[in-house]
């Protein structure tokens, strides 16, 4: 932590050198709704030749200060997506920016689709005053926001993967918070497709949610509860509830909350696995495994949080927060039937019943954040965060194998991991000319201990310690050039020290050091009524800590699973182009990935056992995603249609004993994935809202996998807002109503192939209730540090 403080103080001293001068003009920039406009460019132009004399950038509350010797100039206020304003400078002025986007002409509606505009980093969608204001929870809003699409495993920024989510500048670490946040509390959502240098180099996309400002002191609370019942499986019931409270008096804001979640899943699959190899005598063998699987999962957790925010003075905030979680239940039941053939002859019939559950130590996590956020001298912004995050997890597994043609087996295993993260981040910002300079540093220190033991099969135990230290420095500058647009550039340098210590086999120890620069460039402007944005960025992807192990774990007699302590980070170079015109948004993304990490399967010996583990691909992969989003409004009918295509180019040389030279080239190039999301919302008087939607994904290649069946998800919802202030909301919704949200997969690893068909428990009906009383926007400004490492833990 001494390094963090030392670097922060040096940065502070360096940037403070710019802070001399006096504030001649002060004011505030707001939008048409009176909401503050943050990061707008305010410049003083010379009357003689309109050259820029000096400038600044508005703070988060829209305020600005200008220090200049120019006493007879012109003030320009510019922000992408708004009309530029020119005026005579005056003190304490409130300047209103008018939206520069246009909606569908001639449409008459009580609720309209949200306006979307470019910001220089991504797409910003206004929620307040649009149909999304009554969408339900924040998760429901995000699922209908341009640039985002809902998948089975969660929300995804198209072409960029799962995003980090921030609410009012604070990183969301508890995913259930997006279920607790009500759509009527959201002002806007910004989907950032080119995160700047201040973000970890692994962050490819960010979603920033801005809530509506609520004023006033006193006590407030919110309650929500939901019940999600499967239509195909009686035991498939997901229930949840949350209570959050806040008390505000003067400059002090106290908050706390607790929520409970119960979740279930069911998967029924048919599998065909085939392995090819060569025996020591040179003869070839073929093992074929045909089976069926039933997987049931039951889990429950409780989470809590509490903290305080103190506004010490104008533009000076500090606070702290603690978050904790405990897993109450964790049960996985598997029933697997296999028929195993060697060179066409049946050699085994196996029936396996397995159960995975929590170990004696259970599962818990705890995290904390301390922060300071403020302005020094009305210009120098300071943002400092200190974070801790810890996870402890124990699990036990029991497999009972009954064989019709060989010996039965009783397998017992146990695993535990203990992980700790310490992180600090300091960011200084200062307005220069018509833009803002940011410099900062971020340090993250992670320690993880893994233990694994097993009996009943000849697999060695393991004990390992992973250490990773990440030292980063970054700088960025963005400015508005009148008549041209917004330009920004940044660079981040990360030095990573990685050490893997195998405590049982020291010969497997690994020590590596990485040092990389990650630049990013961005331009945003307009050609007539069309807004444009062009970005370039370099990013990395580091493997989850659970994969950085040499341990081999037992799934069943013929499938073992391992990690790979030799994994190296992937490097990604990305170029994207975006355009917005009226209610039409277009995005094209192209990414080259080197050292891509993929799950790989290959024979382990010559007795039919397959080892599944991650590996780096030798060949680079190229991926493109292109989509168009349409959001017109026709009377009470609000449309949100996304249509896109995702092709890729990937060729891999793999070992295959069936080939004369033992090598075969796999090509995943000629089957792009087409996707569509069609959402329709109807708003009528009396607080009623009706929704009908569907999403479609075509067969195609996804990295080294082939999706072989189309996937279609039909959804519907009805919602009623009650009470005069709309504080009570009832919502009934259904998912996968057609029962077609299932995917089938083929995998080819050269010496091993898999064909899998799946039926998932996704056909459900959900009833939810939300009630808010005197809720207020949290003033908490802690943005956190070490975000990527937390996710990897």
What SS3 string covers 628-683? EEECCEECCEEEEEEEEEECEECEEEEECCCCCCCEEEEECCCCCEEEEEEEEEEE
pLDDT of residue 438: 95
Tens digit of pLDDT for each residue in 242-275? 998 989 888 899 999 999 999 999 999 999 999 9
Tell me if 20 sits within 8 A of 390, measured CB to CB: no
Tens digit of pLDDT for each residue in 498-524? 999 999 999 999 999 999 999 999 999
Give the integer Cα–Cα distance in Å for 93 and 207: 32
Tens digit of pLDDT for each residue in 684-697? 888 899 999 999 99
pLDDT of residue 76: 80
DSSP string, 147-195: TEEEETTEEEETTTBSPEEEETTEE---TTHHHHSBGGGEEEEEEESS-
- pLDDT interval class at 5 (50, 70, 90): very low
pLDDT of residue 3: 45
* Average pLDDT across the chain, whole number: 87
pLDDT of residue 105: 33
Is residue 13 predicted with pLDDT exceeding 70?
Answer: no
pLDDT of residue 218: 86
Give the integer Cα–Cα distance in Å for 484 and 462: 60
Q: Which of 210, 99, 154, 104 is nearest to 640 (CA)?
A: 104
Average pLDDT, stretch 331-339? 96
User: By percentage, how much of the chain surpasses pLDDT 90?
Assistant: 58
This prediction has a pTM of: 0.84
pLDDT of residue 279: 82
pLDDT of residue 303: 93
Lowest average pLDDT, out of 35-39, 228-232, 297-301, goes to 35-39
Average pLDDT, stretch 520-529? 92
- pLDDT interval class at 442 (50, 70, 90): very high
Average pLDDT, stretch 141-151? 87
3-state secondary structure 535-559: EEEEEEECCCHHHCCCCEEEEECCE
Tens digit of pLDDT for each residue in 99-116? 764 333 333 334 455 678
CA 560 to chain centre: 30
Is residue 489 predicted with pLDDT exceeding 50?
Answer: yes
DSSP 3-state of 607: coil
Tens digit of pLDDT for each residue in 551-589? 898 988 889 999 999 999 999 999 999 999 989 999 999
pLDDT of residue 789: 67
Average pLDDT, stretch 119-147? 84
Q: Rounded to 5 degrees, what are φ and ψ at 28? A: -145, 140
pLDDT of residue 2: 44
pLDDT of residue 785: 66
Tens digit of pLDDT for each residue in 727-783? 888 999 999 999 999 999 999 999 999 999 999 999 999 999 988 887 655 566 666
Tens digit of pLDDT for each residue in 404-425? 998 999 999 999 999 999 999 9
Cα–Cα distances (Å) from 84 to 41, 46, 531, in that order, read: 10, 17, 14
Lowest average pLDDT, out of 17-26, 486-495, 569-578, goes to 17-26
């Amino acid at each position: 932590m001494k390094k963090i403080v030392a670097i922060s103080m040096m940065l502070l001293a360096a940037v403070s050198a710019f802070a001399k001068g006096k504030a001649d003009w002060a004011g505030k920039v707001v939008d048409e709704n009176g909401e503050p406009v943050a990061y707008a460019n305010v410049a003083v132009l010379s009357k003689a030749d309109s050259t820029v004399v000096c400038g600044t950038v508005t703070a988060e509350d829209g305020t600005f200060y200008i220090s200049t010797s120019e006493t007879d100039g012109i003030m320009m206020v510019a922000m992408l997506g708004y009309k530029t304003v020119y005026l005579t400078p005056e003190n304490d002025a409130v300047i209103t920016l008018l939206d520069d986007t246009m909606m569908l002409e001639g449409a008459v509606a009580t609720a309209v689709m949200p306006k979307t505009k470019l910001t220089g980093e991504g797409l910003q969608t206004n929620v307040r005053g649009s149909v999304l204001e009554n969408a339900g929870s924040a998760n429901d809003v995000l699922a209908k926001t341009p640039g985002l699409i809902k998948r089975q495993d969660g929300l995804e920024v198209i072409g960029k993967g799962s995003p980090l989510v921030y609410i009012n500048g604070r990183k969301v670490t508890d995913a259930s918070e997006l279920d607790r946040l009500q759509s009527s509390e959201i002002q806007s959502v910004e989907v950032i497709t080119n995160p700047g240098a201040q973000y970890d180099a692994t962050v490819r996309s960010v979603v920033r949610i801005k809530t509506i400002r609520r004023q006033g002191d006193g006590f407030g609370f919110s309650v929500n509860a939901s019940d999600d019942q499967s239509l195909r499986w009686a035991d498939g019931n997901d229930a949840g509830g949350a209570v959050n409270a806040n008390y505000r008096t003067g400059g002090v804001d106290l908050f706390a909350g607790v929520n409970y979640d119960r979740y279930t899943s069911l998967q029924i699959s048919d599998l065909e696995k085939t392995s090819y190899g060569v025996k020591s005598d040179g003869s070839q063998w073929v093992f074929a495994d045909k089976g069926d699987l039933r997987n049931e999962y039951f889990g429950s957790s409780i989470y809590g949080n509490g903290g305080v925010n103190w506004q010490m003075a104008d533009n000076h905030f500090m606070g702290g927060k603690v978050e904790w979680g405990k897993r109450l239940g964790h049960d996985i039941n598997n029933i697997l039937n296999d028929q195993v053939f060697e060179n066409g002859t049946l050699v085994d019939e196996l029936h396996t019943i397995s159960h995975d559950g929590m170990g004696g130590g259970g599962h818990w996590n705890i995290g904390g954040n301390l922060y300071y956020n403020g302005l020094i001298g009305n210009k120098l912004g300071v943002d400092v965060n200190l974070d801790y995050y810890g996870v402890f997890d124990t699990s036990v597994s029991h497999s009972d194998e009954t064989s019709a043609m060989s010996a039965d087996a009783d397998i017992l295993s146990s695993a535990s991991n203990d992980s700790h993260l310490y992180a600090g981040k300091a960011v200084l910002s200062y307005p220069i000319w018509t833009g803002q300079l940011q410099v900062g540093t971020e340090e993250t220190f992670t320690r993880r201990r893994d233990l694994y033991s097993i009996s009943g099969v000849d697999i060695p135990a393991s004990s390992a310690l992973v250490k990773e230290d990440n030292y980063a420095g970054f700088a960025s500058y963005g400015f508005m050039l009148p008549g041209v647009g917004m330009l920004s550039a940044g660079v981040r340098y990360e030095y990573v020290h990685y050490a893997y210590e195998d405590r049982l086999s020291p010969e497997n120890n690994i020590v590596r050091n990485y040092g990389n620069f990650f630049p990013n460039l961005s331009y945003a402007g307009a050609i007539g009524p069309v807004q444009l944005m062009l970005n370039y960025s370099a990013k990395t992807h580091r493997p989850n800590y659970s994969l950085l192990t040499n341990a081999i774990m037992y799934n069943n007699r013929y499938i073992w699973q391992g990690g790979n302590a030799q994994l190296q980070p992937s490097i990604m170079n990305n170029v994207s182009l975006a355009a917005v015109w009226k209610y039409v948004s277009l995005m094209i993304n192209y990414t080259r990935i080197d050292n891509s990490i993929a799950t790989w399967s290959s024979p382990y010996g010559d007795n039919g056992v397959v080892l599944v583990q991650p590996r780096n691909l030798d060949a680079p992969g190229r991926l493109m995603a292109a989509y168009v989003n349409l959001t017109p409004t026709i009377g009470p009918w609000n449309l949100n249609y996304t249509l896109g295509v995702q092709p890729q180019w990937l060729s891999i040389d793999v070992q295959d004993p069936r080939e004369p030279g033992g090598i075969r080239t796999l090509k995943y190039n000629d089957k792009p994935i087409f996707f569509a999301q069609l959402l329709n919302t109807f708003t009528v008087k009396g607080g009623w809202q009706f929704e009908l939607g569907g999403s479609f994904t075509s067969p195609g290649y996804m990295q080294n996998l082939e999706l072989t069946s189309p996937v279609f998800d039909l959804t519907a919802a009805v919602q009623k807002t009650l009470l005069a202030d709309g504080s009570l909301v009832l919502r009934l919704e259904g998912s996968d109503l057609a029962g077609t949200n299932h995917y089938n997969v083929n995998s080819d690893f050269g010496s091993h192939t898999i064909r899998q068909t799946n039926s998932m428990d996704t056909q459900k009906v959900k009833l939810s209730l939300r009630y808010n009383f005197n809720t207020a926007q949290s003033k908490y400004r802690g943005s956190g540090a070490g975000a990527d490492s937390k996710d990897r833990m």
